[in-house]
Structure 1
Amino acid sequence: MQVFKAMFKVMRSRLPSALIYIVCFFAISAIIANASTNDNKFEAKRLDISIFDEDDTPESHALAEIIKKSNDIVEIEKDKDTILDSLYYRRIDYALIINKGYADKLRAGETAELFSSYHLDESFSVVYMGQFLDEYVSTVKAYLSMGEAFDEAVANAEDAMSQNAEVNMLSRIDKGGNSHFSVDFAGYFQYMPYILVSIIISVVSLVLVTMNKKDIRYRTNCSCLKESSYTFQLFLGSFLFVFIIWLLFMIGGMILNKEFYTGRAWYAVLNSFIFAVVVGTMAVLVASFEPKDNVLNLITQVLGLGMSFFCGIFIPVEVLSDKVLSVARFLPAYWYVRANNMIADITQFSLNEVIQCYLIQLGFAAAMVIITLLVRKVKYSGAAIGTAVKKAAAAEH
């Protein structure tokens, strides 16, 4: 197993670059997992608002009190430059001016020019306050239209606007009790293909290119080591590296998600393993053409980013055109993503179709193994013949 041992000695020099991908992927996954598991209760964001009450009536005071309940009031000087500076430096999110005559206009059913405001852009705070004020005015008008007195309409509107509904964010899909696959955690498997392609091809292909250099190849062909044994050891070493990388991701996923090995997550685990094998065979095939380092980096990025954008890894499949998807079907990542979407219930789950996606990916792997064997047989068989001719010529002299 001399070739097998030599491979892992060469791999050590490429581990730092692989670790960068791994650490970044785990860091981003941990942040997403932590954000999704902290608290599933929805809480409205409190805005920093300055209120300038030019009407100074009980009705305008009532509106200001309602706003204070769900936002933080910031007292600043009523000066245009001061207000704009506060908005620019984010000391406040919104400056509301209750115009003079607010109560009289509201009592008369008028809604125009009740308020003025200062804001920097059409941000969330602007939309939120606009909707809030429209809802409040509409609620008062609704009570007035029912024949209530103005004071009662304002009081009832205040009560109605003060009601809060408890909202719980669902982070898990459970259709019929069969799916315990976290929706957020499905993204962990969704983006894994790009990392697998980047790591495996950049490491395995470079190691194989090093092992296939002319001097090493000629020396190997002159030895008693059979070509089939040499190729087998290359495949074995590549597969072992792929398995170790895949296992690291599975262990990391188990740490990030406590229910990793439950429900349909098993299908996602198998799907990721099959795709890792596909990428391993892809790396061996790329190495058979002996690309230079800069060309190999280019190939890695083209394959990783190309499949990520064309096959639905970075961009949802739903927004991709039919022409793009027709091309993507000839790439293994498309079938990986298709299976992952069914497992996560993004599309309708069908076990038969998931298995079909598995088999198609394995078909890609088998095809690349066959092509690799043919390339190696054609490309490197000449080395042994050339060496034998040189030996015969030297013997004649």
Structure 2
Amino acid sequence: MTIYNMIIRIFSKYWKELLIYFLIFLGFVFVAIGQPEGDENQTFSSVTLDIAVVNQSDDPLGEHLVDYLSESHDVETLSDVTIVDVENEVFSGTYQGMLYIPENFEELVLNGQADQVELLLNERDMSSAQLNTEVDKYLRLANARVASGVSDISELTDQLDSTLNETAEVELIGGLDHQNVLLAYTTGIALVGYFVLQIILGTVGMAMSEIKSKKIQDRINLSGISNLRYNTQVVLGQVTYGGLILLITLLVLWVYIPSSIPIDYVRIIISLALFVLNALSMAFLMTALTNNRNIINALTTVVSLGLAFLSGLFIPYEVMGPTIQRIAHFSPLFYFRQSVMKDINSYTDLLTEWGFLLAFAVVFTLLGVAISQQKRAGKG
């Protein structure tokens, strides 16, 4: 494990750079996630939202849902418009959310089928999560009544009115309900992925440029170590370093995020671990292509910022054109964002995102190994 030990020693020389990165990272987490403000306990008071509704159904249940939302929000029912038109209005800030009720809405509810309505929220406005909460509450109650044997629409709407009109005091965290606060924290965690990518590409790039210096490479070549053993120990050294980055990042999030926030840490750990592997494999490929520090630093900035914008971390993914959205699916940062922000019922709903993250890591690593072996063989 000579090469492995050498890599660990070289990585340890860059603790100052790593410390600087993490100090910036702490500031970034503070700004990205923030802290809820206000009194510790408050009585719930809903925010009046500007909502666009596209109601394709002519049945009483669809109208009842619209009336329910109209009681506490400014609802505008739109006709002769496309979903794309409404999407543009939502993400330009005209509406905080859009509700699309399909033509067979009543049938979907009575049959207990999935995807009964479609919601579009402006993720930049935390209060828009309230729309998701209220529609979800309405549909859960309706589905529960249907499951209990209610099949008459008039009886169903009467029971919904009776239940929904009940009032209750809800304890708030800093003036925001749990749904809004959770959205704020998961958005911040998705943004942390960008910073982890920046840290790993930057520090691994500097360390690997030293490892691949002529002096060290001459010593490695004289040792007679095989290409396979060399690349295996390089990868193990980087994985060890990546594990340290992962642990520090998780520690920062665990300390900073209040215990009252229902964060799924199993999901975060798996997603972040897979993304760290991606960042390491990208750094491995990058340093296999070039040993020039200036080029590595430039690539670090361009790649990390480019993937962040492409993945919808700085600009909402939904406002991008169809072509850009298709290109975004070739970004591992996009799948990391999806894996921490996607609404799921079980972990199986994340197998696609996790699978793509693992696939990207394997592809980048194999490309790096192939290029590295070709270069070493050429020098041999």
Q: TM-score, normalised by structure 2?
A: 0.60
User: In the aligned structure 2, how far is the partner of 1:316 from the partner of 1:222?
Assistant: 52
Structure 1 pair 166–357 and aligned structure 2 pair: CA distance change class (3 A) = closer
State the Cα deviation string for residues 60-101 of structure 1 (Å, max 9, x = none). Answer: xxxxxxxxxxxxxxxxxxxxxxxxxxxxxxxxxxxxxxxxxx
Report the 3-state secondary structure (helix = DSSP H, G, I; strand = E; otherwise coil) of the residue aligned with 1:173.
Answer: helix
Matches within 5 A, 1:365-384: 365-384=361-380
Cα offset, 1:273, TM superposition:
1.1
* TM-superposed deviation, 1:209: 2.1
Shift of 1:203: 1.2
**Structure 2 counterpart of 1:379, one-letter code:** K
CA contact (8 A) 1:189 1:340 kept: yes
How far did 1:290 drift? 2.3
The reply to whether residue 340 of structure 1 matches residue 340 of structure 2 is: yes
Q: Find out whether 1:331 has 2:331 as its counterpart.
A: yes
Query: Could you say which residue in structure 1 is the equivalent of 2:320?
Result: 320
Structure 2 match to 1:192 = 192
Q: Which of 142, 162, 176 pairs up with 1:170?
A: 176
- For residues 305 and 33 of structure 1, what CA distance do their matches in structure 2 show? 19
TM-superposed CA distance for 1:166, in Å, is 11
Deviation at 1:225, TM superposition (A): 2.3
The verdict on how the C-alpha distance between 1:383 and 1:239 changes in structure 2, with shifts beyond 3 A counting, is same
Q: Which residue of 2 aligns with 1:356?
A: 352
Deviations 1:184-215 (A, max 9, x none): 22133111121111111111122122212233
Letter in 1 for 2:306: G
CA pair 275-314 structure 1, distance change in 2 beyond 3 A: same
Conserved in 1, the CA contact under 8 Å of 2:11 and 2:241?
no
SS in 1 for 2:374: helix
| Partner in structure 2 of residue 83 of structure 1 | none
Q: Is the 8 A contact 1:281 1:368 kept in 2?
A: yes
Cα distance change of structure 1 residues 260 and 250 upon mapping to structure 2, 3 Å threshold: farther
Contact 1:209 1:288 in 2 (8 A): no
Q: Is the 8 A contact 1:11 1:207 kept in 2?
A: yes
Give 1:261 deviation, angstroms.
Answer: 9.6
User: 2 CA distance for matches of 1:215 and 1:27?
Assistant: 38
Q: CA deviation at 1:37?
A: 5.9
The equivalent of 2:277 in structure 1 is 277
Report deviation, 1:234.
Answer: 0.7
Matched, 1:19 2:19: yes
Matched to 2:376, the amino acid is Y
SS in structure 1 at match of 2:176: coil
Specify the SS of the correspondent of 1:35. coil
Q: Unpaired segments of 5 or more residues in structure 1?
A: 44-164, 175-180, 385-397
- Superposed, 1:198-277 pairs within 5 Å as 198-259=198-259, 264-277=264-277
Q: Summarize the Cα distance change of 1:14–1:273 in structure 2 as closer, same or farther, 3 Å threshold.
A: same
Q: Note if contact 1:218-1:383 (Cα within 8 Å) is conserved in structure 2.
A: no
CA contact (8 A) 1:208 1:234 kept: no
* Partner Cα distance (1:326, 1:31) in 2: 30
Q: Residue type matched to 2:371 in 1?
A: V
Secondary structure at 2:337's aligned position in 1?
A: helix
Contact 1:200/1:283 (8 A) holds in 2: yes
**AA of the residue aligned to 1:188:** G
- Rounded Cα–Cα distance in structure 2 between residues aligned with 1:195 and 1:373: 25
Coordinate RMSD, CA, aligned: 2.9
Q: Which amino acid aligns with 2:297?
A: N
Residues 91-106 of structure 1 mapped to structure 2, 5 A cutoff: none
Gaps of 5+ in 2: 45-168
> Would you say 1:183 and 2:183 are equivalent positions?
yes
Instruction: Quote the offset at 1:42 in angstroms.
Output: 8.9
Larger Rg belongs to: 1
Distance 1:298 1:33, change over 3 A: closer
1:260 and 1:365 mapped to 2: Cα distance?
34
Give 1:92-171 correspondences, 5 Å limit. 169-171=175-177
1:209/1:287 contact within 8 Å kept:
yes
Offset of residue 377 of structure 1: 1.5
Q: Percent identity?
A: 19
Partner letter of residue 170 of structure 1? L
Mapped partners of 2:10, 2:260: distance in 1: 34
**Distance change in 2, residues 1:185/1:236 (3 Å):** same
How far, CA to CA, are the matches of 2:280 and 2:260 in structure 1? Answer: 24
- Identify the structure with bigger relative contact order (alpha carbons < 8 Å, sequence gap 6+): 2
C-alpha distance in 2, partners of 1:213/1:34? 42
| Cα distance, 1:172 vs structure 2 | 1.8
Shift of 1:276: 0.7
Distance in 1, matches of 2:8 and 2:326, equals 39
Question: Which residue does 1:103 correspond to in 2?
Answer: none
Residue-pair matches, total: 254
Structure 1 residues 26 and 368: alpha-carbon distance in aligned structure 2, compared to 1, 3 A threshold: same
The 3 A distance-change label for structure 1 pair 203 and 167 is: closer
TM score, norm. by length of structure 1: 0.58
Preserved CA contact (<8 Å) 1:36 1:171: no
Cα pair distance change 1:7/1:189, threshold 3 Å: same
Displacement of 1:340 in angstroms is: 1.8
C-alpha separation in 2, matches of 1:371 and 1:212: 17
Which whole-Å CA distance do the structure 1 matches of 2:291 and 2:350 have between them? Answer: 35
Q: 2:43 & 2:280 partners in 1: Cα distance?
A: 43
Question: One-letter code of the match for 2:178?
Answer: R
